[in-house]
């Protein structure tokens, strides 16, 4: 898209009237003081907001010319908030949001390229210090980086060490072992299911499917960003879908109601000790610590499984969350100063302490933080999951269309449909492919 077409007539009008509301956005005042507005979507709970406040205070102390105003963007209506802001040109200067946002906003010419930050990181070794190159490659689109990763959101598989030991089962490392273990450990009479994962029509459902897709050698895009979900990757993706849904339909070792489960429901089942294996986010760790501390020592984190794709595909879906700067911000240089300051090893320790497991650093050198060493589950996650965490762009670069595909839950639908028996895996995958094709217009 040409850079002119991004601003429509209305936005120009809004800009012309800017005096009225520019006050609310960042603006350099006469004294050279820059006020930055920083929107967050995942740093809003009381604990995290409090931790963030102290970090921002540190920044302001080191950079007396810049003031940061933190505004939480709440609820599941993040998109309406962002889209109205774009239409009305009342965007923040910096935001921390979902994976696909920077590319989608770049597609409507709202994003400031972050190429200079990536170049700087390349020269000073920061890039080499990031766990996985997909962490930043996913933000590369049309030759520019539109965001930088600051945080890692992991999707580990948790297991109950005590239950496995009682049956003499070793922690599984392959698909076959995992399946056998889940079946063997399913014991509804004593209130434990073999495995729990969310299969409702929600975004999270797709993340676990994605892990199995990668492990089966499948993916959604190829390395050039072309859609291959139902073409060359079809067989692998069906294989992954069958493997995942068989736990519910064929082996019946999941809770009966997973077809309406969201993240939280699956977490609760595992945290309350009702499943031998549980798929979840990093938050399970802090929930176990808080809600069922007696179980902490009995919980372990599995190695990433090896599936039909072989050892080179020993991968797990994870999400490197972006920070991005708005193109129309009058203070984007200061905004970038903040991003560079914020995304550094050791900088966000207080966030990690506030909600253990929920947020992860993206740097290799953060691996040995004492905080992690002192918490066995964090340590296991860091060794067994973090190094194998890749992102939706794998094996290539990001596409803004993925935001639509994720947003409309196009690959959660197959899981949901197969679990309730509404479609065969083959049909579910092909229907999803057709829906995705429309987004790519191919």
* Cα 55–Cα 57–Cα 62 angle in degrees, nearest 5: 100
The Cα diameter of the chain in Å comes to 72
Nearer to another protein, 332 or 399 (CB): 399
428 and 417 Cβ atoms separated by less than 8 Å: yes
Query: CB 33 → another protein: shortest distance, Å?
Result: 18
The CA radius of gyration of the chain, in Å to the nearest whole number, is 22
194 and 182 Cβ atoms separated by less than 8 Å: yes
The secondary element (H helix, E strand) that includes residue 212 is: helix 203-215
Count of residues making up the chain: 442
Query: CB 88 → another protein: shortest distance, Å?
Result: 5
Tokens of 372: 């992690």
Q: Which listed residue (15, 58, 65, 80) binds another protein by CB under 8 A?
A: 80
Residues 402-421 close enough to bind another protein by CB under 8 A: 403-404, 407-409, 412-413, 416-417, 419-420
Other beta carbons less than 10 A from residue 133's beta carbon: 14
Residues 336-395 close enough to bind another protein by CB under 8 A: 358
Q: Which residues pair with 363 in a beta bridge?
A: 130
Instruction: Specify the residue for token string 């599984």.
Output: 172
Query: CB 408 → another protein: shortest distance, Å?
Result: 5
Residues 137-196 close enough to bind another protein by CB under 8 A: 153, 191
Nearer to another protein, 303 or 406 (CB): 406
Residue 373 DSSP SS3: helix
Query: CB 316 → another protein: shortest distance, Å?
Result: 16
Residues 97-116 close enough to bind another protein by CB under 8 A: 98, 104, 107-108
Specify the DSSP class assigned to residue 27: E
Nearer to another protein, 380 or 417 (CB): 417
Q: Which listed residue (157, 258, 318, 393) binds another protein by CB under 8 A?
A: 258
Query: CB 239 → another protein: shortest distance, Å?
Result: 21
Query: CB 217 → another protein: shortest distance, Å?
Result: 27
Q: Which listed residue (26, 147, 255, 425) binds another protein by CB under 8 A?
A: 255
Q: Which listed residue (316, 401, 411, 425) binds another protein by CB under 8 A?
A: 401
Parallel, antiparallel, or unpaired: how do β-strands 27-28 and 193-196 relate?
A: unpaired
Residue 24 touching another protein (CB under 8 A): yes
Nearer to another protein, 200 or 308 (CB): 200
* Cα 180–Cα 181–Cα 183 angle in degrees, nearest 5: 65
Q: Which residues pair with 432 in a beta bridge?
A: none
Residue 21 touching another protein (CB under 8 A): yes
53 and 40 Cβ atoms separated by less than 8 Å: no
Q: Which listed residue (93, 112, 246, 283) binds another protein by CB under 8 A?
A: 283
Q: Which listed residue (83, 119, 128, 180) binds another protein by CB under 8 A?
A: 83
Q: Which stretch binds another protein (CB under 8 A): 57-65, 71-79, 217-225, 341-349?
A: 71-79
Q: Which listed residue (271, 325, 369, 377) binds another protein by CB under 8 A?
A: 271
Specify the DSSP class assigned to residue 174: B
Residue 296 touching another protein (CB under 8 A): no
Q: Which listed residue (72, 330, 395, 396) binds another protein by CB under 8 A?
A: 72
Query: CB 131 → another protein: shortest distance, Å?
Result: 20
Cα-Cα end-to-end distance for the chain? 18
d(CA 92, CA 165) in angstroms, rounded, equals 52
Q: Which stretch binds another protein (CB under 8 A): 118-126, 230-238, 262-270, 322-330?
A: 262-270
Task: Number of residues interacting with another protein: please give it, by CB under 8 A.
Answer: 89
100 and 407 Cβ atoms separated by less than 8 Å: yes
Q: Which stretch binds another protein (CB under 8 A): 129-137, 179-187, 329-337, 400-408?
A: 400-408
Specify the DSSP class assigned to residue 225: S
Residue 225 touching another protein (CB under 8 A): no
d(CA 196, CA 192) in angstroms, rounded, equals 10
Query: CB 11 → another protein: shortest distance, Å?
Result: 10
In terms of Cα–Cα distance, which of 254, 277, 260 is closest to 188?
254
Q: Which listed residue (29, 31, 32, 46) binds another protein by CB under 8 A?
A: 46
d(CA 17, CA 20) in angstroms, rounded, equals 6
Q: Which listed residue (65, 257, 310, 346) binds another protein by CB under 8 A?
A: 257
CB burial readout 362-372, b (16+ within 10 A) else e: bbeebbebeeb
Q: Which listed residue (68, 204, 317, 323) binds another protein by CB under 8 A?
A: 204
């Amino acid at each position: 898209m040409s850079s002119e077409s991004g601003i429509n007539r209305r936005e120009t009008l809004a800009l012309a009237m800017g005096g009225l509301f520019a006050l609310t956005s960042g603006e350099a005042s006469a004294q050279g003081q820059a006020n930055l507005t920083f929107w967050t979507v995942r740093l809003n709970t009381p604990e995290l907001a409090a931790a963030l406040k102290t970090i921002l205070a540190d920044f302001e102390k080191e950079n007396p010319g810049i003031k940061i105003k933190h505004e939480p963007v709440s609820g599941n209506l993040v998109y309406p908030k962002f889209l109205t802001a774009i239409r009305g040109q009342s965007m923040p200067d910096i935001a921390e949001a979902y994976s696909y946002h920077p590319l989608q906003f770049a597609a409507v010419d709202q994003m400031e390229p972050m190429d200079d930050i990536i170049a700087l990181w390349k020269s000073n070794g920061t890039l080499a210090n990031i766990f996985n190159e997909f962490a930043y490659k996913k933000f590369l689109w049309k030759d520019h980086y539109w965001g930088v990763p600051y945080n890692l959101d992991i999707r580990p598989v948790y297991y109950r060490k005590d239950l496995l030991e009682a049956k003499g089962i070793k922690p599984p490392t392959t698909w076959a072992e995992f399946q056998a273990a889940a079946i063997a450990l399913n014991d509804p009479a004593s209130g434990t299911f073999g495995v729990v994962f969310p299969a409702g029509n929600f975004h999270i459902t797709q993340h676990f499917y994605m892990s199995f897709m990668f492990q089966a050698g499948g993916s959604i895009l190829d390395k050039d960003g072309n859609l291959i979900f139902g073409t060359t990757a079809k067989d692998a993706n069906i294989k992954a879908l069958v493997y995942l849904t068989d736990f519910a339909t064929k082996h019946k070792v999941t809770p009966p109601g997973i077809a309406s489960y969201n993240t939280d429901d699956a977490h609760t089942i595992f945290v309350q000790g009702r499943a031998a294996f549980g798929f979840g986010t990093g938050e399970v760790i802090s929930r176990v610590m808080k809600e069922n501390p007696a179980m902490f020592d009995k919980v372990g984190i599995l190695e990433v499984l090896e599936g039909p794709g072989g050892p080179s595909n020993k991968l797990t879906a994870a999400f490197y969350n972006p920070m991005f700067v708005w193109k129309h911000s009058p203070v984007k240089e200061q905004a970038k100063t903040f991003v560079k300051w914020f995304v550094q090893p050791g900088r966000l320790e207080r966030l990690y302490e506030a909600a253990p497991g929920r947020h992860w650093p993206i740097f290799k050198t953060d691996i040995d933080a004492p905080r992690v060493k002192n918490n066995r589950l964090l340590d296991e996650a860091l060794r067994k999951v973090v190094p194998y965490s890749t992102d939706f762009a794998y094996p290539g670069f990001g596409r803004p269309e993925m935001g639509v595909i994720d947003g409309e839950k196009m690959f959660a639908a197959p899981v949901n449909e197969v679990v309730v028996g509404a479609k065969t895996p083959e049909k579910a995958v092909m229907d999803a492919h057709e829906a995705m094709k429309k987004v790519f217009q191919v």
